[in-house]
Chains A and B, each alone.
Chain A
Amino acid sequence: MAACATDSIASGIDRAIALMDLRGNARTPLAVTAETSAAVLVFVTTDCPIANAYAPEISAIAREYEQRGFEFFVVHVDPDVSADDARRHAGEYALDEESVILDPEHDLVRALGITITPEVAVVRSDASIAYRGRIDDQWADFGKKRRAARKQDLRAALDAILGGRSVGETRTMAVGCSIPIIAER
């Protein structure tokens, strides 16, 4: 894992950030254990069409990579979305309810520097952000969707981690909805 030293761009993120899942249990997605390859956090809202269109791909990647030691979280960033809303949404879009957590105060959003839905962050056990950005390049812009993605950025990052290589492109720009603005605390 020493090969990945260059991935440690953001250190000092608060590993203790605790958020509620749909059963009301507190989860600490950034407290990534050494046994976990990495935590993969996918930021969504219930009504961002691009995030929703990615739901099948999010589920497919999660199914594939959970078996290889990654832990997945689907993080709702709309402060008005309740656990019930998120459960209904997970049902509609066939997302794994177990992986859904709510970030109404944007603790994770700020800690990881997320600006878009659907944006993903891959966090390693040393609290570094190994990858942050788009899932793939299928959307070039609003309304500009390729027939198929040409670059599978998230999968490439996860494969690099599995292979003990450094992630090639650690930061990409996601295309989608801006993270909702919430009231200042």
Chain B
Amino acid sequence: MRQSSSMRLSCSGFEAALLVVWLVVSAMLSTAAAGFAQRESRPPARDAKSRIPDQPTYHEHVGPILYANCTECHRPGEIAPFSLVTYDDAKKRAKTIERVTRSRYMPPWLPEEGWGQFHDERRLDDHEIETIARWIAAGLPEGPRAAARGLPHFTEGWQLGEPDLVLEMPVGYSVPAAGPDVYRNFVLPLDINEDVWVQAIEVRPSARAVLHHTLIFEDATGDAARLEKQDRSGQPGFRRMDFRGSSQIGAWAVGGSARRLPGGLARPLRRGASIVLSSHFHPSGKQETEKTRIGLFFAKEPPERTLLDFQVPPRYGALWGIDIPAGVADYVVSDRFVVPCDIELVGAWGHAHYLCTSMRAIAKLPDGTTTKLFSIREWDFDWQNAYFYRDAVKLPKGTIIESTLHYDNSAGNPSNPSDPPQRVRWGLQSTDEMGSLIFSCVPAKEGDIAVFRDGEREQARLSVAGAARRRVVSRYDSNRDGVVTRDEVPARLWTMVARFDGNGDGTLQDDELDAIVRAMQDMRPRSGRAGGDGSGNGRRR
């Protein structure tokens, strides 16, 4: 399995836990085929001027909105805390529905409108939100029952059909009734005789109120099983996030839909490996036992094209030098990736921890045009989903993908895990930070994979250089004007300033700072060791 090793080179290799999102893409989407077919048959955007009825009724107007966007989860036996199946269900909760739809807390869908067109979109348009509000203002009229549309057909159980392989946690994990969120990893031994290609992984939690999301890893090293054995808590699983050598092959969050990778693409899963679930629980007020099952859906034959993931900044930001002072309300991480060959983007998502507030990526094409690739305006750690483009986004060689992530480490951010705020650096724990926008792509020519890898190595080098440069500036630029002047550095470094001050103006600015960083990099062995296995962790001071 050549692709297997190449994939591991780019996507795993470092911290297992940072793997965080990889194939989130394939697993996330837990929707009945029927469900999304129906959703996608809706007109993509309504005429903004189309009239909202003055007196909407449940059966004519509101019910259809709920059926198309909410009921898939809000029905008996499904993941949501209550059902929205009948008129009475909706009427009773109308005020809550209005609040959560207006604030766009529900339906859970983080990508910003206008930044990529994705499958399985769950977003109410303004027209629908206003319709619900007017229905409440009108006194919640039921309307003519004759107009009622039947509940859509929802698939029970596995949403993608019968899986090729079902794995279940051998022992249930007991989640306490109260207390902070719980993160825990569970090992599912995998008994397969040959390497397989996975097109989708579907997750079925047993305690639906508490399992909020789970990230799925392949561990071929046995590390995870060892860590689980060493755990002394008497419960299944283990807490540590630093199991290595694993690569993420899937993920699931509440409200996500299961979907097969497009175009016959698949991810490799090797014989002898274990599956590790890295799960995030919300205590629900009562003690619950979670025994997750996952269904694996295999490709009938090996894919013809290789799926590659890349991140901007690379490696969940491990190389970027994230270092957020306590109290800073808007810390910005930005980085870029120069696309080294023609590619087609098939999926996008992001990963960060609790301080992150928003993330965005834009593509600047060689012809001067720009494409908005992906944006989450209000990042929420709880709803980590991955998204598939409806149509692959073609990006020619030389396209620059720029990403920007914002972080709020002030006391005013309720998600801040530290009270009072603490200085936060890159790391694996939920009190640390990281952050990347992550894309799945296929090179337009299969032969370009090596070129793509080279491009990623260059990206990593530049990310490290950027971090070094920011360190130089933050250390010496005492007046914070972005340039380092001779009187800002100690006398012993004056010769260095003189050496790199190309234009002789007594200051070091952009290109001159870059020259210093390049010189620093040349002094070190080049191995990209900065990005080698586990290096991210090693960078923690």
- A residues at B contact (CB < 8 Å): 47-49, 51-57, 78-80, 92-94, 140-148, 150, 177-182
B382 proximal to A (CB < 8 A): yes
Q: In the complex, how many angstroms separate the beta carbon of B75 from the nearest chain A beta carbon?
A: 13
B114 proximal to A (CB < 8 A): no
- B415 near A144 (CB under 8 angstroms)? yes
- A52 near B105 (CB under 8 angstroms)? no
> Interface on chain B toward A: helix, strand, loop, or mixed SS?
loop
- B96 near A178 (CB under 8 angstroms)? yes
- B91 near A181 (CB under 8 angstroms)? yes
- A94 near B91 (CB under 8 angstroms)? no
Chain B residue nearest to A48 in the complex (CB):
B81
Task: Pick from B283-291, B299-307, B492-500 the stretch touching chain A.
Answer: B283-291
Which residues from B are CB-within-8-Å of A150?
A: 419
Q: In the complex, how many angstroms separate the beta carbon of A34 from the nearest chain B beta carbon?
A: 34
- B414 near A140 (CB under 8 angstroms)? yes
Separation of A51 and B209 alpha carbons in the complex (Å) = 13
Q: In the complex, how many angstroms separate the beta carbon of A40 from the nearest chain B beta carbon?
A: 18
- B178 near A180 (CB under 8 angstroms)? no
Chain A residue nearest to B412 in the complex (CB):
A140
Chain A residue nearest to B287 in the complex (CB):
A94
Which residues from A are CB-within-8-Å of B92?
A: 78-80, 180-182
- B91 near A147 (CB under 8 angstroms)? no
Using known A-B contacts A56-B178, A94-B177, determine if residue A177 contacts B93 with beta carbons closer than 8 Å.
yes
Chain A residue nearest to B419 in the complex (CB):
A150
- B285 near A142 (CB under 8 angstroms)? no
Give the one of B103, B177, B285 with max A CB within 10 A: B285
Which residues from B are CB-within-8-Å of A52?
A: 209, 284-286
- B284 near A142 (CB under 8 angstroms)? no
- B286 near A142 (CB under 8 angstroms)? no
Interface residues of B in 412-431 (CB under 8 A from A): 414-417, 419
Q: In the complex, how many angstroms separate the beta carbon of A153 from the nearest chain B beta carbon?
A: 15
Separation of A93 and B177 alpha carbons in the complex (Å) = 8
Separation of A56 and B419 alpha carbons in the complex (Å) = 23
> Interface on chain A toward B: helix, strand, loop, or mixed SS?
loop
Which residues from B are CB-within-8-Å of A182?
A: 92
- B96 near A177 (CB under 8 angstroms)? yes
Q: Which 4 A-B pairs have the closest CB atoms?
A: A140-B414, A178-B95, A56-B178, A52-B285
- B286 near A94 (CB under 8 angstroms)? yes
Q: In the complex, how many angstroms separate the beta carbon of A144 from the nearest chain B beta carbon?
A: 5
Separation of A180 and B89 alpha carbons in the complex (Å) = 10
- B105 near A143 (CB under 8 angstroms)? yes
Give the one of A51, A148, A150, A178 with max B CB within 10 A: A178
Hey, what's the 0/1 contact readout for B176-193 against A, CB within 8 Å counting as 1?
Answer: 011011000000000000
Which residues from A are CB-within-8-Å of B417?
A: 147
- B81 near A47 (CB under 8 angstroms)? yes
Interface size on B, residues (CB 8 A): 32
Chain A residue nearest to B96 in the complex (CB):
A178
Which residues from A are CB-within-8-Å of B99?
A: 142, 178
Hey, what's the 0/1 contact readout for B73-110 against A, CB within 8 Å counting as 1?
Answer: 00000000110000010011111100110010100000
Q: In the complex, how many angstroms separate the beta carbon of B289 from the nearest chain A beta carbon?
A: 13
B361 proximal to A (CB < 8 A): no
Separation of A41 and B419 alpha carbons in the complex (Å) = 30
- A47 near B82 (CB under 8 angstroms)? yes
Give the one of B96, B99, B103, B383 with max A CB within 10 A: B96
Separation of A55 and B286 alpha carbons in the complex (Å) = 8
Using known A-B contacts A56-B178, A57-B178, A177-B96, determine if residue A49 contacts B382 with beta carbons closer than 8 Å.
no
Which residues from B are CB-within-8-Å of A54?
A: 285
Q: In the complex, how many angstroms separate the beta carbon of B203 from the nearest chain A beta carbon?
A: 20
- A49 near B140 (CB under 8 angstroms)? no
Interface residues of B in 369-423 (CB under 8 A from A): 380, 382-383, 414-417, 419
- B285 near A53 (CB under 8 angstroms)? yes
A178-B99, A181-B91 known; 8 new pairs, CB 8 Å cut-off, are A47-B81, A52-B285, A56-B178, A80-B92, A143-B380, A143-B382, A143-B383, A148-B419
Q: In the complex, how many angstroms separate the beta carbon of A52 from the nearest chain B beta carbon?
A: 4
Interface residues of B in 168-224 (CB under 8 A from A): 177-178, 180-181, 209
Separation of A94 and B177 alpha carbons in the complex (Å) = 10
User: Which of A94, A147, A180 sits near B93, CB closer than 8 Å?
Assistant: A180
Separation of A79 and B89 alpha carbons in the complex (Å) = 12
Give the one of A48, A49, A78, A150 with max B CB within 10 A: A49
Chain B residue nearest to A53 in the complex (CB):
B285
Chain A residue nearest to B90 in the complex (CB):
A181
Interface residues of B in 279-317 (CB under 8 A from A): 282-286
- A181 near B419 (CB under 8 angstroms)? no
- B100 near A147 (CB under 8 angstroms)? no
- B93 near A49 (CB under 8 angstroms)? no
Which residues from B are CB-within-8-Å of A78?
A: 92
Interface residues of B in 241-294 (CB under 8 A from A): 282-286
- B95 near A181 (CB under 8 angstroms)? yes
- A178 near B180 (CB under 8 angstroms)? no
16 A-B pairs with C-beta separation under 8 A: A47-B82, A52-B209, A52-B286, A53-B178, A56-B178, A78-B92, A79-B92, A94-B286, A143-B380, A143-B383, A145-B414, A147-B419, A150-B419, A177-B93, A178-B93, A178-B96
- A142 near B180 (CB under 8 angstroms)? no
